[in-house]
Amino acid sequence: MSKHTKTLGLIGSGLIGSQLARLAVSHGFHVVLSNSRGPETLADLVAELGPRARAATSTDAASAGDVVVVTVPLRSYRDLPAEALAGKVVIDTCNYYPRRDGRIPELDDESTTTSELIQAQLPGARVVKAFNNIYFADLPEGSPAGTPNRRALPVAGDDEAAKATVAAMVDEFGFDVVDAGPLAEGWRFQRDTPAYVTPADADGMREALGRAKRYAEMG
């Protein structure tokens, strides 16, 4: 188990949330799952995960987590329990898909980025962007540290201690870590960039982040 983390709270327990919960449980964490429909709808996943897992409301999952993952369709960002997340390390896996999420003008004009939008919604939280650029089915495919050409995942965040906590988890879950900088640099691994869902080792990931273009530049 990580030195830093004992309980992972999950706001969203779909494709990504359930995979992160499986990884967390297999690494000795307790997990508290939540979704939009209520804890009773997560009974099957809780049963699969065993005694280290329980389901709760999103507010309770936020309160219970040493680290809390926000892994919902981005359109739901205004529903996040800001008060319960104050002071917490929050992992944001969310991506912006206008067809699913509706138009969000400040993302369309690139005056902000998805994780900065979530950070603004959660002013007391310590948001770290991670696990947004890996396909959910690839999450269990990590490998031990030191494996040649080990897959790397980027993290971005404004709070260095929070970023270090999340980096330790990413490594524990099977991936090298590339520090992509502050949240404002998170666009470098957003949807449609070279770093998005394409496996790369640490050198390859740094290279992919370096040649990312803003949507406006892509035309």
Ligand X SMILES: NC(=O)c1ccc[n+]([C@@H]2O[C@H](COP(=O)([O-])OP(=O)(O)OC[C@H]3O[C@@H](n4cnc5c(N)ncnc54)[C@H](OP(=O)(O)O)[C@@H]3O)[C@@H](O)[C@H]2O)c1
Q: Is 14 an interacting residue with respect to ligand X (CB under 6 A)? A: yes
Confirm if 1 and 27 have CB atoms less than 8 A apart. Answer: yes
- Which of the ranges 11-19, 45-53, 154-162, 172-180 carries the binding residues for ligand X, by CB under 6 A? 11-19
Residue facing ligand X at closest CB distance = 14
The single residue listed with the structure tokens 């992509």 is 180
Q: Is 11 an interacting residue with respect to ligand X (CB under 6 A)? A: yes
**Where in 40-79 is the site for ligand X (CB under 6 A)?**
58, 71-74, 76, 79
Q: DSSP label at 87?
A: T
**Based on CB atoms, which residue is closest to ligand X, 29 or 131?**
131
Partner residues linked to 8 by β-bridges: 31, 67
Q: Is 35 an interacting residue with respect to ligand X (CB under 6 A)? A: yes
**Based on CB atoms, which residue is closest to ligand X, 129 or 148?**
129
Of 37, 72, 69, 73, give the one whose Cα is nearest residue 56: 37
Structure tokens at 101: 């999420």
- Which of the ranges 12-20, 23-31, 116-124, 146-154 carries the binding residues for ligand X, by CB under 6 A? 12-20
Query: How do beta strands 7-11 and 30-33 pair?
Result: parallel
Q: Is 136 an interacting residue with respect to ligand X (CB under 6 A)? A: yes
Q: In whole angstroms, how close is the CB of 148 to ligand X at the nearest point?
A: 25
**Within the chain, where are the H helices?**
15-26, 43-49, 58-64, 82-85, 98-101, 105-108, 114-121, 160-172, 202-210, 215-218
**Based on CB atoms, which residue is closest to ligand X, 1 or 133?**
133
Structure tokens at 177: 């870590």
**Based on CB atoms, which residue is closest to ligand X, 15 or 161?**
15
| Chain contacts with ligand X (rule: CB under 6 A) | 11-17, 34-37, 58, 71-74, 76, 79, 93-95, 132, 135-136
